[in-house]
Chain A
Amino acid sequence: MSLAIETIDLTKRYGNIVAVNKLNIRVKSGTIHGFLGPNGAGKTTTIKILVGLLRPDGGRVIVLGEEIRESGPKVQSRIGYMPELPRFPKHLKGWELLDIYGQMYCIPSQERKSRIRRLLEIVGLKGRENDFIGEYSKGMQQRLGIAQALLSEPDLVILDEPSIGLDPVGMVDVREIIKDIARKGVTVFISSHLLSEVEQTCTHVSIINRGVCLAEGPLGDIIGKIAGSSVLEIEVAEGLDKIINIVRDLPFVSAVQVEGSRLIIESHVREDIRPKISRAITEAGGTIIYMNMRMKRLEEAFIRLIRGEDR
């Protein structure tokens, strides 16, 4: 699979502060890739370098197969970008802004009109396009930001915190829009600190802290590798000691804890382990009287990774 974004030892300093420190990330084409990290991790700085707003101090950046050396318009025509909390000229109307931006992409007039009409409907701004942007709420500006990022039908869409300022309905809408874009084969690169949003939307993630990439890969693999994939809570009627040893020896089990008459079993695979555990306990002569399974969340993996790094 080709890469939509690749950074090699990317470095950016602000005076003595190293915002991005030899960062290496690889974003596969056609994926929805989450870019995660705590505040000040270097996410926005990296994104600004990707779209040509900042110049790197070191390393290489390859976007859609083209190396970015100087901020230039060549590859920008294939990128749709929505900045964090986007701000647009208040003196323009929503339609005017999209029309002017479309003109900058050299989209023919008729095509521009039909795309703008469609996008306004998708982002839920239909009927407000002739209002001045100065009259838009934060959420509406966010929606306009998504519309302008999709205007050129880009190969790569970069969204910096797309859910900030949106109400719950807006968040669901954005999630659906992102999935819809990805279905058309477009790569979506999302920076976010709303982990539940990322978990529901992204197929792949990169987690960075202090400008360094700590983990990268398919979402399930990252969660499994760092936090374990699932936790199974079991209560057995008798023979707990014998059962502990049998369960511990199962290849997909990474840890077993005993809490009274209950066993807390952690697994590192994302498949449903209940049938295998049930069979193993029954064959050992045990009787299960309670069983509850929950999948590990991205949040647990993220916190484990960041806290481990901070220590």
Chain B
Amino acid sequence: MSGENIREMRRLKMTTQLLAIIRYELLWNVRKKKLLGAIAAAFIITTLTLALPVIFGSVYNRPIKSDPNYVISNSGSGSLILFLFALVTTMNSISGEFESGTIIPLLAKPISRTLILTGKIIAAIFTVLAAYSLLYAYLVIGGIILYGPQDNLNLIPLCMLGDMLSTTVWMSIILATGALSKNTTLTTVIGVITFLAANIGTSIISFFTEGAWILHYFPGNGATGYIKTLGIIRSLNLSTGTDNIAKIIIQYMLNPSAYVTYVKIEMGGTQVSPPIFRELYSEPLSLVLFRALVVAATYITALLLLAWYAFKKTQVLE
């Protein structure tokens, strides 16, 4: 058999094995009650996003006007949805196998650990992409029904990819923790603490210190600034972290020459004097997008490499 044939056969074998592990993991993911719970939560949040203006409009007797940008301006999932999807698909995909002992027959099969981990990651990404597809379809249909024909719907696939990238950052954090600890409870606790720190903590730091630039390099919300077009600050604020890639992509596609201006809130000396917004610096939106993509890619690569190394070197003691 020639060298090429051997390589072809090896490729075919690897593909078959990869498909097997993806199937193994997908069947697990779709049968998880936690995933159904997360999807239900995401649908409730999306329903509120769609319905609240209608409800308030009817309460205050102000009928809603048609808004062709409603869907696109509400696209980009919130941090909680991103984190929940990442958590339910990956929290026990490594640690759970070790805890239940199902890893033993799996690792005794003629399939490399690298392929097992790759299959698990791909299955998690497929699962989350499917969930986002349902969510965005719901948002678009709901938006058209409630707010009339919508513009810029061609940006929705990009938006989904952005959300997927943001979710993958959280998945990488959780997978690496799971591979190192082999303990689902510990993985979940560390994941939740990191999420809270990266979202609540950063929002406070971002507004009240001048050192908020460092938050551009943390996962989560990052620093918060305001979109500035032709020298005018628009009321729209924008977070620069890895959780907001979809929103940054949309803003960049709609206003490629826009700038993001960062401010510091200085409280007034007395109770009556209002807080002062002091401008710190501005930077092009293109740079914000580029940096968010690079930071996300760096986290994903580094954490998945860490997960791979820990998984590859692990011995099955129990």
Query: Which residues of chain A have a CB within 8 Å of any CB of chain B?
Result: 14, 48, 51-55, 71-74, 76-77, 79, 81-83, 85-92, 96, 100-101, 103-106, 145, 148
Is the CB of B3 closer than 8 A to any CB of chain A? Answer: no
Is the CB of B19 closer than 8 A to any CB of chain A? Answer: yes
Is the CB of B28 closer than 8 A to any CB of chain A? Answer: yes
Partner of B20 from the list A73, A79, A104 (CB cut-off 8 Å) is A104
CB distance from B200 to the nearest CB of A (A): 34
Contacts of B108 in A (CB 8 A): 51-53, 76, 79, 81, 83
Contacts of B23 in A (CB 8 A): 100, 103
Contact, CB under 8 Å: B102 / A73: no
CB distance from B116 to the nearest CB of A (A): 9
Select from chain A the residue with minimum beta-carbon distance to B19.
A103
- Main secondary structure, interface of A, reads loop
CB distance from A204 to the nearest CB of B (A): 23
Q: Mark B89-114, 1 if CB is under 8 A from A, else 0.
A: 00000000000111011011111110
Give Cα A101–Cα B19 distance, bound, in whole angstroms: 11
Given contacts A100-B23, A104-B17, whether A88 and B109 have CB atoms under 8 Å apart is: no
Contact, CB under 8 Å: B110 / A74: yes
How many chain B residues have a CB neighbour from A under 8 Å? 27
Given contacts A103-B23, A104-B20, whether A87 and B104 have CB atoms under 8 Å apart is: yes
Contact, CB under 8 Å: B105 / A14: no
Contact, CB under 8 Å: B111 / A104: yes
Which 6 residue pairs of A and B lie closest in terms of their CB atoms, listed nearest first? A103-B20, A77-B110, A87-B101, A73-B110, A53-B316, A76-B110
Q: Known pairs A91-B31, A92-B27. 9 more at Cβ < 8 A?
A: A52-B107, A54-B317, A76-B109, A83-B108, A89-B28, A89-B102, A91-B27, A100-B23, A104-B111
Is the CB of B215 closer than 8 A to any CB of chain A? Answer: no
Select from chain A the residue with minimum beta-carbon distance to B97.
A89
Contact, CB under 8 Å: A83 / B317: no
- Main secondary structure, interface of B, reads helix
Contact, CB under 8 Å: B107 / A91: no
Contacts of A88 in B (CB 8 A): 102, 105
Give Cα A79–Cα B148 distance, bound, in whole angstroms: 63
Give Cα A76–Cα B28 distance, bound, in whole angstroms: 25
Is the CB of B16 closer than 8 A to any CB of chain A? Answer: yes
Partner of A86 from the list B17, B19, B105, B107 (CB cut-off 8 Å) is B105
Contact, CB under 8 Å: B28 / A91: yes
Give Cα A165–Cα B101 distance, bound, in whole angstroms: 17
Contacts of A103 in B (CB 8 A): 16-17, 19-20, 23
Is the CB of B5 closer than 8 A to any CB of chain A? Answer: no
Give Cα A103–Cα B28 distance, bound, in whole angstroms: 17
Is the CB of B13 closer than 8 A to any CB of chain A? Answer: yes
Contact, CB under 8 Å: A53 / B107: yes
Contacts A/B (CB < 8 Å), 18 sampled:
A52-B108, A53-B107, A54-B315, A76-B108, A76-B109, A76-B110, A83-B101, A85-B101, A86-B101, A89-B24, A89-B102, A91-B27, A92-B24, A92-B27, A103-B20, A104-B109, A104-B111, A106-B17
Contact, CB under 8 Å: A86 / B109: no
Is the CB of B21 closer than 8 A to any CB of chain A? Answer: yes
CB distance from B97 to the nearest CB of A (A): 8
Contacts of B104 in A (CB 8 A): 53, 83, 86-87
Give Cα A57–Cα B301 distance, bound, in whole angstroms: 32
Contacts of A87 in B (CB 8 A): 100-102, 104-105
